[in-house]
Amino acid sequence: MARKVVGFGEDDLRALAGVRSFERGLGYLDAVSGLEVGERSITAVVRGTDVYEVELTFGGDGLSGRCDCPYGQEANFCKHCVAVGLTVLRRAKTIPHQRAAARARSSGLEAWLSALSRDELLALVREQVAEDRELRRRLELRAAAARSDLSTVRDRIIALIDPRPFARYGYIEYADASGYARQVAEAASALRALTADGQATQAAGLAEEAIRVLGKAYREIDDSDGVVGEAAAAVAEAHVEACGVARPDPDRLAEWLVGTVLDDRDDVTDLDPLDYADALGPSGLARLRRLAAEALGRRPSGWAERYLVERLAKAEGDVDTLVALHAQDLDPSGATHLLIAEELEAAGRAGEALAWAERGLRDCAAETYIDGRLVDHVCVRYAETGRAADAVTVRRDRFRAERSLAAYRQLRSAARAADCWESERAAALAALDEDARRERGGRYGGPVLIDALLDDGDLDAAWREAADRADDRQWERLADMSREIRPAEALGVYLRLVERSKEPTGDRAYEHLAGLLLAARDCHRALGTEDAFTVYLGGLRTELGRRRKLMSILDRHGL
């Protein structure tokens, strides 16, 4: 019921905070005060080591929380957020009334403002401007823009994006990032207003200055929530809009774009030169391409340079340039070969695409790791073109190199499609048997041979190979798969695993132990020896009776 009223429940708080912070939050319920409820947010004060302000918001994106405690400033859902959330849930019955009261206050304020005369409103605004520095700066900016006072507008915009007032220690901390972001967003609004008022050229110039300042400042901001990045993106959008109206010199705009995109300090605006295609026109785009190519020539390994050339080539459908670009730096895993193949295939050049993918397999054949997507790509193309035997060859080569269960499964799938699994399986199992004899285990310790036999459902062979080779995981799976047809052998496995599972503690270990006991009980039932299980279980409960949590879990499972 509480979930429907407030939009979240205890499970949401526990999931966001983690067990430790959730439990610590329980100790702060008496420290919560000043609870204010809105439509989609709740604010409160929590008294801990200091007095902390907490805000919970909830809606379509789920529940989130902010707190200005040190842990909360690192973008964590802290114990103070938990305390506020739990307080709200315990007062769930009063929440609808508080929301209704908040709406009534808002409606009353709107009615009162509407009833004020012009002089009364002016007096009220002047009073607020005198008391609220941030409001005064915003209104000064709007006033300057309205009267085309560009000098003042520039000063106000630069003041809004100046990070220094928020950088108390030379760095904008998480708690101050949202305040700074609001000012940056206000600057973006002012730039758009300038463009709308016929001052697009001036707006473009100011936006470039703002982008420069933001790029320089961003590395010294804890923008864990991305709020500053969003506001900076709004500034970049205002610049695009201004350029679209002002139509600046295309060569000069191309030079500015390349310089900004390649500036290592600009990590915030994420400019896309193609957003400026209309403003650049054919000559500007040509200049942009030349500058990008020259920059890549000077620094072939530069990430930004490669991105710029790749972005322009993709936009123009210049596949050959893309292939040449990627071919300069081929990843030893084959990932780049695959990328080239996908670009060529998308361009309708399937033959060249497959040739690049096959080259990737050859170039990377000696590598320990090959991107599995490349192997899949080649095998799928072989299957589509009736080359099933070639697909088997590829899968066989990869299996010989990897000797994993996944590679065995892929070989099996390809060989069945080519109707040659019987012979391939014999060779594959022989290779895995050799590995097992050399004590070359699988991912979890036991031989891959046993995993392969189990995956094939060849239980008789799996039982033969398991002796002195299988690990506990494999023994348990073998018993699970065999208990209906070999209950006695499976029971022996389960009882042995129970003995090994007595020492570990914790919920997960106890649940696993309970699962083993349930399986053992099923075996006893199949054998008609349930009384023996009852005696065994009684002895086990006596032996481990001091573990209350284990006893509770056994009770829950009917053990």
* pLDDT digit string, tens, across residues 248-275: 999 999 999 998 888 765 566 678 888 8
Q: Domain for residue 354, yes or no?
A: no
From the centroid of its chain, how far is CA 81? Answer: 23
439 domain residue, yes or no: no
**Residue 54 falls within a domain, yes or no?**
yes
CB-count exposure of residue 428 (10 Å: 0-12, 13-18, 19+)? buried
Question: Which residues contact residue 119 at a Cβ distance below 8 angstroms, ignoring those fewer than 6 apart?
Answer: none
Instruction: Tell me: pLDDT of 523 over 90.
Output: yes
For residue 222, give the nearest of 393, 340, 68, 348 by alpha carbon.
68
What's the one-letter identity of residue 156? Answer: R
Average pLDDT over residues 324-346: 91
Among 81, 114, 147, give the residue marking a domain's end: 114
pLDDT, residue 1, reads 37
Answer whether 213's CB lies under 8 Å from 161's CB. Answer: yes
Distance between CA atoms of residues 64 and 76, nearest Å = 10
Model confidence pLDDT, tens digit, residues 369-414: 888 999 999 999 999 999 999 999 999 999 988 888 999 999 999 9
Q: Which of 94, 114, 134 is the last residue of a domain?
A: 114
Question: For residue 392, is it within any domain?
Answer: no
Q: How many helices (H) and strands (E) does the chain have?
A: 27, 4
Comparing CA positions, the residue from 58, 51, 2, 48 lying closest to residue 25 is 48
Region at 350 (left for phi over 0; alpha for psi -120 to 50; beta for the rest)? alpha
| Token representation of residue 5 | 């009223």
Task: Please report the pLDDT score of residue 254 as a whole number.
Answer: 93
pLDDT digits 0-9 by tens, 106-154 = 788 889 989 989 999 999 989 888 888 777 877 777 777 777 777 888 8
Domain contains 531: yes
If you average pLDDT over residues 80-109, what whole number do you get?
84
Residue ending a domain, choose from 80, 114, 148: 114
Ranges of beta strands (E only) in 227-273 are: none
pLDDT at 440: 54
Counting every residue written for the chain, the total comes to: 559
Residue 335 has pLDDT above 50, yes or no: yes
Whole-number pLDDT of residue 104: 82
Q: What is the pLDDT of residues 268-299, one digit of tens each?
A: 667 888 889 999 999 999 999 999 889 888 88
Q: Which amino acid is at 527?
A: L
- Inside any domain, residue 466: no
- Residue 458 lies inside a defined structural domain of this protein: no
The strand pairing partners of 63, in sequence order, are 58
Mean pLDDT of the chain: 88
503 versus 98: which is more confidently predicted?
A: 503
**pLDDT score of 2:** 41
In a domain, 171, yes or no: no
| Residue 345 confidence (pLDDT) | 93
Tell me what pLDDT residue 441 has. 52
The pLDDT, as a whole number, for residue 468 is 78
Percent of the chain with pLDDT over 90: 46
Q: What is the pLDDT of residue 478?
A: 95
In this structure, which amino acid lies at residue 162? D
pLDDT of 504 reads 87
Q: Which of 168, 13, 198, 39 is nearest to 107 (CA)?
A: 39
Would you state the pLDDT for residue 256? Answer: 93
Question: What integer pLDDT is reported at residue 505 of this predicted model?
Answer: 86
Split into its structural domains, the chain has a count of: 2
pLDDT digits (tens, 9 = 90+) for 420-457: 999 999 999 999 999 888 875 555 578 999 999 999 99
- Please spell the DSSP secondary structure of 453-515, one letter per residue: HHHHT-HHHHHHHHTTT--HHHHHHHHHHHTTT-HHHHHHHHHHHHHHTSS--SHHHHHHHHH
Q: Give the tens place of pLDDT for each residue, 173-213.
A: 888 888 888 889 888 988 988 888 888 999 999 999 999 88
Domain that holds residue 546: 483-559
